[in-house]
Amino acid sequence: MTFYTRSLAGVRRAGAIAAVMTAAIGLGLAPEAHAATDTATLPLGDDGLAETRSSQTLSHGVTLTRIVRGTDPAAADQINTTTRGPWVVNVLTIDPKTTRGHLAATYGPDLAEVEKTTDLVRAAGALVGVNASFFTFTASAQYPGDPVGLGVFGGKLLSEPTGDPAEANLVVDARSNKVLMGRLRWTGTVQNTRTKVSLPLEFINHPPVVPAGCGDLAQQTQCTLPGDVVRFTPEFAEATPSGAGVEVVLDAQGCVVRTSTTRGTTLSREQTSLQATGRDSVALLAVAKGCLKQTTTVLDEAGKKLRLHAGMFAVNGRYRLLADGRIVVPAGSDSFFARNPRTIAGTTVDGKIVLATLDGRMTTSVGTTMDETAAVAAALGLHDAINLDGGGSTAMSVEGALVNQPSGGTERAVGDALVFVDSRFTGR
């Protein structure tokens, strides 16, 4: 999908919005401030805590609301236990019925790199955006942006959903701004078009694991451990992962261009490759002759095939917060379920899309537990919602300017972002 850069004036206006909203919090005031009369206060902490809300209309059908609950900073050693807050919540509300744009997901120059949310919003020519998927981060110095779960961009399945029951997915149809949430599944196969022999695909754009003792080709021939079969696309990185195993490069028609008994190559925009390790290396060499048919199928929670098209995007989260108006967060006691910064996405009964950040791990905003996060989502009027990547990744940007306060003091580079592209400015 091609995006267009917005004017410098737009970025300056966004910076002004961020500065005004931040100053308002420091003074206990806000532009267009109003008491929460028609909306229930947030179900956080003690009853009767002071709560202020300030709103800005960013574009037709797009509003930014900042909610501050509690006034006094928390003691540093009481961030996880205080009932007095404070909490700072930023809420983007998008009304597809009146807006002139669309929601999408985007990443940096390639899938495996990381970029700041503000940079992703700016590069996309977007009005607003938040960080989105969980990603490899510190687990891979070479490919830190690799999504840990589903990733669909412009209708292309670039990362498969995992079998982890914690994974929750958000799918957006940019043509209609319809949103689907749930736990998606997938299947993938590679089949020789002449012999009909096939192999299962295990991953898309994830470095394969080399089983111990299955390094070079001679060892792979004797290897009894299966290894991985992985499909790589040009979007992944400048080059495919290198190492022991085999790699088969295919042209746009799926026909074999070259075969190598080691992994690591550069793909042209029309090519894909298949990598295999362990005993799967021998199996791939046997299948990869002539032309191959690659088939991937994504299924929704009901088992219905999800038909991908150029206007479809999807990101991964961890745990559904709300389903059909019901809180569905499971019980948990590890640090993930404790108070942290959060990024959430959801929809209302009447079809509005809501993206929200909840700052945390600071004396000025303590963050929320998973139970508190679900309660906030419900109080914001959401009918369905999921928990996106949070912690130090939590970020919200308006026209490339940061409007929340990251817990680490500076904005973290992330794998991808959900962005709203305003058609009035981009012409799309």
- The predicted structure's pLDDT at residue 36: 35
| Burial class of 241 by CB neighbour count within 10 A (0 to 12, 13 to 18, 19+) | buried
For the chain, give the mean pLDDT: 90
- Residues with Cβ within 8 Å of 222's Cβ and at least 6 positions away in sequence, in order, are none
Cα separation, 308 vs 184, in Å, equals: 13
Percent of the chain whose predicted confidence (pLDDT) is above 90? 83
Burial 11-34 (b: 16+ CB within 10 A, else e): bebbbebbeebeebbeeeebeeee
C-alpha–C-alpha distance, residues 143 and 232, integer Å: 13
The CA distance from 85 to 358, in Å, is 12
- Give the pLDDT score at 50: 97
Backbone angles phi, psi at 423, to 5 degrees: -65, -20
What's the pLDDT at 216? 67
Q: What is the mean pLDDT of residues 265-292?
A: 95
386-395 per-position pLDDT tens digit: 999 999 999 9
Judge contact between 131 and 395, C-beta under 8 A: yes
pLDDT tens digits, one per residue of 185-217: 999 999 999 999 999 999 999 999 988 877 766
The answer to whether the beta carbons of residues 318 and 161 sit under 8 Å apart is no
Average pLDDT for residues 351-374, to the nearest whole number? 98
Residue reference for tokens 């925009």: 269
* pLDDT greater at residue 39 or residue 266: 266
pLDDT of 7 over the 60 cut: no
Q: How many residues appear in the chain?
A: 428
Query: How buried is residue 377: exposed, middle or buried, by Cβ count under 10 Å (0-12/13-18/19+)?
Result: buried
Please answer whether residues 368 and 44 qualify as being in contact, where contact means their C-beta atoms are separated by less than 8 angstroms.
yes
SS3 422: strand
* Per-residue model confidence (pLDDT) at position 317: 98
| Domains assigned to the chain | 8-182+302-426 (no CATH), 187-296 (2.60.120)
Model confidence over 221-241: pLDDT tens digits? 677 788 899 999 999 999 999
What confidence tier does 426 reach under pLDDT thresholds 50, 70, 90? low
pTM of the model: 0.89
- Going by their DSSP bridges, the two strands 62-69 and 384-387 should be labelled as unpaired
With 70 as the cut, is the pLDDT of residue 339 above it? yes
